[in-house]
Amino acid sequence: MTKLDETLTMLKALTDANGIPGNEKEVRDVFESYIRPLADEVTVDNLGSSIAKKVGKADGPKIMVAGHLDEIGFMVTRIDDNGFVYFQTVGGWWNQVMLAQRVTIMGSKGDITGVIGSKPPHILSAEARKKPYEIKDMFIDIGASSKEEVTEFGVKPGDSVVPYFEFTPMKNEKLLLAKAWDNRIGLAIAIEVLKRLKDEEHPNVVYGVGTIQEEVGLRGAKTSAHAIQPDIGFGVDVGIAGDTPGIKESDADSKLGKGPQIVLYDASMVSHKGLRDLVVKTADEKNIPYQFTSMAGGGTDSGSIHLTGNGVPSLSITIATRYIHSHAGILHRDDFENAVKLIVEVIKKLDATTVRELALA
């Protein structure tokens, strides 16, 4: 078994924590335990986003680096008389990755283990077996025999349900397998950026932010950006990896280990040209590898940040990740390290003059 160093221990703590949109407290507690010692102050907005402030130059530009706390999951909606638990999805799921997967229900008396169940294929018609099983027909089996027993277990409608998967470094120890990389890797980047700046001079005020409810509409980024009123915004998140069988380069061409992704365009934002050019120039100067990417669907917290106040030059920097929006994803540790290095080097350049010039680029 791989011995976990300080960084891997942090990544394990973040990914093993449970938190769907609207119930991010467990994740926020882990995030704050790591970022609080690196910040001058930590506050929480009224919806639950965590804002860590690190002052370089008190009257300098405000730089926001935001990852989201929440992961996709489910919510209990009803319990039948036989003790089976029904649910709705919270965030985007593909039904073909859900069946027979282990889940954790965050009940009032502690976590409850369950498995997503359905009719066995043996009793389905030949025609039905050809079709993806519909989410509305799935349920969670927690080993209860009645509705009353489920209640005794501490499970009720409204409870959060999260995928179960333990953080696991793979045989190639640069590759890391875990649930909820979307977006615990963004939180890790925000933490590590503040850590690298702890003893560095920087001409600005940096905010490392853990936002809530990104998966259901970039909601926490709206409220936290409103609270900060940043001059520059970075959304840090996962992106699509295109290095597995069946994916054409025209669909996605990013590869694990080839550097962080600079997002040109997604459904929530066209990236700011001036900021993007500065990031690319800095990466080239510092020999930091990077990849360009675009996504016709989906978005990141930058989509909300850039519309704050009179507008905020913003850019998303993402980590290519396999199998996102499922129980487990794989990413490359070097991409994480290089994303942190790149953002830190850019932040060190973002003085008042540079930020003013960016707005006109």
Q: What is the pLDDT of residues 195-254, one digit of tens each?
A: 999 989 999 999 999 999 999 999 999 999 999 999 999 999 999 999 999 999 888 999
Question: Within this chain, do residues 275 and 327 fall inside the same structural domain, yes or no?
Answer: yes
Q: What is the pLDDT of residues 323-344, one digit of tens each?
A: 999 999 999 999 999 999 999 9
Residue 328 located in a structural domain:
yes
CA gap 66, 225 in Å, rounded: 9
Residue 166: active-site member: no
Under the banding of pLDDT at 50, 70 and 90, the label for residue 126 is confident
**% of the chain exceeding 90 in pLDDT:** 89
Question: Within this chain, do residues 113 and 18 fall inside the same structural domain, yes or no?
Answer: no
Q: Name residues whose C-beta falls within 8 Å of residue 33's C-beta, 6 or more positions apart in sequence.
A: 13
Q: Which residue spans within the chain are E strands per DSSP?
A: 41-44, 50-55, 62-68, 73-79, 84-90, 102-107, 110-117, 139-141, 160-163, 168-169, 175-178, 205-211, 232-240, 261-266, 269-270, 291-294, 314-321, 329-332
CA gap 190, 185 in Å, rounded: 9
Residue 174 located in a structural domain:
no
Q: What is the pLDDT of residues 91-112, one digit of tens each?
A: 999 989 999 999 999 999 999 9
Given this model, what pLDDT does residue 242 score?
Answer: 94
Does 283 have pLDDT greater than 90? yes
**Domain boundary residue among 107, 131, 163?**
163
Does 189 have pLDDT greater than 70? yes
Could you give the angle at which helices 333-347 and 273-285 cross, rounded to 10 degrees?
110
CA gap 228, 31 in Å, rounded: 19
Under the banding of pLDDT at 50, 70 and 90, the label for residue 50 is very high
Question: Within this chain, do residues 93 and 63 fall inside the same structural domain, yes or no?
Answer: no
Tokens representing 263 are 């997002």
Out of 71, 127, 214, 249, pick the active-site residue.
214
Residue 215 assigned as binding residue? yes
CA gap 84, 303 in Å, rounded: 39
Question: Within this chain, do residues 188 and 251 fall inside the same structural domain, yes or no?
Answer: yes
**What is the Cα Rg of the chain in Å?**
21
Does 8 have pLDDT greater than 90? yes
Under the banding of pLDDT at 50, 70 and 90, the label for residue 361 is confident
Question: Within this chain, do residues 60 and 38 fall inside the same structural domain, yes or no?
Answer: yes
Phi, psi of 352 (to 5 degrees): -60, -40
Q: Name residues whose C-beta falls within 8 Å of residue 259's C-beta, 6 or more positions apart in sequence.
A: 283, 288, 289, 290, 291, 335, 338
Residue 1 located in a structural domain:
no
Residue 325 assigned as binding residue? yes
**Domain boundary residue among 102, 130, 163?**
163
**Domain boundary residue among 163, 194, 227?**
163
Residue 173 located in a structural domain:
no
DSSP 8-state code for residue 127: H
- What's the CATH number where 154 sits? 2.40.30.40
Question: Within this chain, do residues 292 and 332 fall inside the same structural domain, yes or no?
Answer: yes
Question: Within this chain, do residues 186 and 227 fall inside the same structural domain, yes or no?
Answer: yes
**What is the pLDDT averaged over residues 168-196?**
97
Q: Name residues whose C-beta falls within 8 Å of residue 221's C-beta, 6 or more positions apart in sequence.
A: 49, 66, 68, 209, 211, 214, 235, 301, 302, 303, 304, 305
Closest CA to 335 of 229, 256, 243, 249: 256
Residue 122 assigned as binding residue? no
Question: Within this chain, do residues 107 and 246 fall inside the same structural domain, yes or no?
Answer: no
Q: How many domains does the chain have?
A: 2
Given this model, what pLDDT does residue 1 score?
Answer: 58
Domain that holds residue 270: 6-71+179-359
**% of the chain exceeding 70 in pLDDT:** 99
Residue 182 assigned as binding residue? yes
Q: By the 8 A CB rule, do 121 and 129 touch?
A: yes
- What's the CATH number where 44 sits? 3.40.630.10
